[in-house]
Structure 1
Amino acid sequence: MSSAVSPAVICTVDTVLLTLQGGTLHVLLVRRDKAPYAGAWALPGGYIHAQDDVDAQASAARVLREKAGLQSPYLEQLATFSGLARDPRGWSLAVAYCALVPGEALQGIPPRQGVKLVPVDALPPLPFDHRAMVDAALARVRSKSLYSSLPVHLCGDAFTLPQLQVVYEAVLGEPLNKVSFRRKMDELDMLEPVPGLVQGGAHRPAQMYRLRPAFRKALALSSRAL
């Protein structure tokens, strides 16, 4: 029996943070300050701290706070990326997450050097397998958008139906018929009007809506379970 000690496995977390800017989906990138790929733009990621993090999701949340100064209301595990070829430092395993943050939530956060938002269709070359992680996040979010309230996490606390439709169109990457969209929202029965809250002028004010509490709770539980 061989007594050789196996090399340590590199264990990290990486997060695809999606947000809307100007009606377009953007991804948050950070500039790497260490090798490998020092100076390259990449997804916010870092090592799992076994002594501090209760699980991989806690690691992902911590890394987002440390690297970008952000706390995402929605954080869902995507997949595990592993193998010898993905990292020049050796055999590695990365647990990838998807975060959804409303654009308005980013406006009050002071800008950080080495952090930027990039449209999903204009990404620079990314190190490791970060492009595959972005593609996995986009596929997951677009798939869930066909039958769930997931895109609401890209909205603020309250929104009009036209504003929500813009969000769904940005996520799906295609225009939606107004009548069909509103029929789908009625079928899902996930929204409730915010009493006394409207937007617009006195002649044709638009009712503001929010996600029903049961749907907010269901989304929070599903994001923790995956």
Structure 2
Amino acid sequence: MTMSKLETTSDVEFLKTYNIHDYDVPLTTVDMAIFSIVEQRLHVLVVTREESPQLGRWALPGGFIDLKKDVSLDAAAHRKLFEKTAIASPYLEQVQTVGDATRDPRGWSVTALYFALIDHATPLAMNAQWLPVDEASNLDWAFDHQMLLRLAVERLRSKTLYTALPIGLMPELFTLTELQQVFEVILGHGLEKKSFRRRVLDAGVVLPTEFSKKSGKRSAQLYRAAALSLDFVFPRALDVLL
């Protein structure tokens, strides 16, 4: 009998009597920082807790991992996102895993923090609403969700500097000015116009169309997103105007 067969047999016998509850298992959740742009301001989706602990306090959407439904952390995050917004986001990214003995009064807990970008017109759960990020930062948050929001905003802005991620918020057709405005809203800073246009055109993340729209006294070229991943990386970071 080969070593691999011995190991397999040994594992089978071991697992017959193994009980996962022989060891302490921390509370395990996923939390979602879901962002959108509303009236030219970066917003985050927040909910009010409808049960104890910390009933009535503000929180990021999320919940416990379901061992029967969720085959992975990503699957749990997509499920919770769908429960809160009724859509499946094309882009969902894990930001960080956080855990300790004090973040949840119920006991030792771990959460996997994710962020997503969606259209703010998406229908929401009854206890959910959009709030500007700068206002949400000062809410009376449940658990450590104020810190989780800060981590997610930092990741979103970092990704916006060197990837095509914000294009996921654009309509089918858009001008380069409109695209730049979305980048600027997320970053909280202006971008040098010529540099931005050269960057997105040279990278091929947008494609010109035969259409245009009136912009002031002139007509502006309309573009569409190229068939690239939203995680497309620019050769170098965007030039931010401080």
Distance (Å, rounded) in 2 between the aligned partners of 1:181 and 1:145? 12
Shift of residue 6 of structure 1? 4.2
Q: 83-92 or 53-62: which moved more?
A: 53-62
* Structure 2 residue aligned with 1:169: 184
TM-score (norm 1): 0.85
> Does residue 1:50 correspond to 2:64, yes or no?
no
Shift of residue 67, structure 1, vs aligned partner: 2.8
Q: Any stretches of 5+ residues in structure 1 without a counterpart?
A: 220-226
Q: How many residues align?
A: 211
Unmatched tracts of structure 2, length 5 or more: 1-20, 234-242
CA distance in 1, matches of 2:162, 2:125: 36
Aligned residue number for residue 36 of structure 2: 19
The structure-2 alpha-carbon separation of the partners of 1:206 and 1:68, relative to structure 1 and needing over 3 Å to count, comes to: same
Stretch deviating more after TM superposition (37-46 or 13-22): 37-46
Bigger radius of gyration, 1 or 2? 2
Q: Deviations over 1:33-87 (max 9, x none)?
A: 1111111121001010111112111111111222333432211111101010110
CA, structure 1 residues 55+218, in 2 after alignment: closer, same or farther (shift >3 Å)? farther
Q: Does 19-28 or 120-129 show the bigger shift? A: 120-129
Whichever residue aligns with residue 163 of structure 2, its letter is S
Question: Deviation per CA, 1:175-195, whole angstroms, max 9, x where unpaired?
Answer: 2222222122233331112x3
Partner of 2:226: 212
Pick aligned residue for 1:182 from 189, 193, 197: 197
Give the letter aligned to residue 154 of structure 1. L
1:118 is matched with which residue? Answer: 131
Q: How does 1:61-100 map to 2 (within 5 A)?
A: 61-100=78-117
Going from structure 1 to structure 2, the CA distance change for 1:5 and 1:54 (only over 3 Å counts) comes to: closer
AA of the residue aligned to 2:75: A
Choose between structure 1 and 2 for higher RCO, CA contacts under 8 A separated by at least 6 residues.
Answer: 1
Which of residues 163, 175, 187 in structure 2 aligns to 1:148?
163
Aligned mates of 1:137, 1:165 — CA distance in 2 = 21
Structure 1 segments, 4+ long, off by >4 Å, are 216-219
- Aligned partners of 2:34 and 2:118 also within 8 Å: yes
1:198 aligns with 2:189: no
- Give deviations 1:107-139, integer Å, cap 9, x for gaps: xx2x54211101000011211121222111111
Contact 1:81 1:96 in 2 (8 A): yes
The answer to whether the 8 A contact 2:167-2:230 is kept is no
Aligned to 2:4: none
Aligned to 1:137, what secondary structure does the other structure show? helix
- Stretch moving more, 85-94 or 147-156: 147-156
Alignment partners' CA distance in 1, 2:117 and 2:82:
14
Distance verdict in 2 for CA 1:8–1:150, change over 3 Å = same
1:56 and 1:141 mapped to 2: Cα distance? 20
Secondary structure, counterpart of 1:49 in structure 2: coil
1:29 & 1:177 partners in 2: Cα distance? 33
Paired AA for residue 179 in structure 2:
L
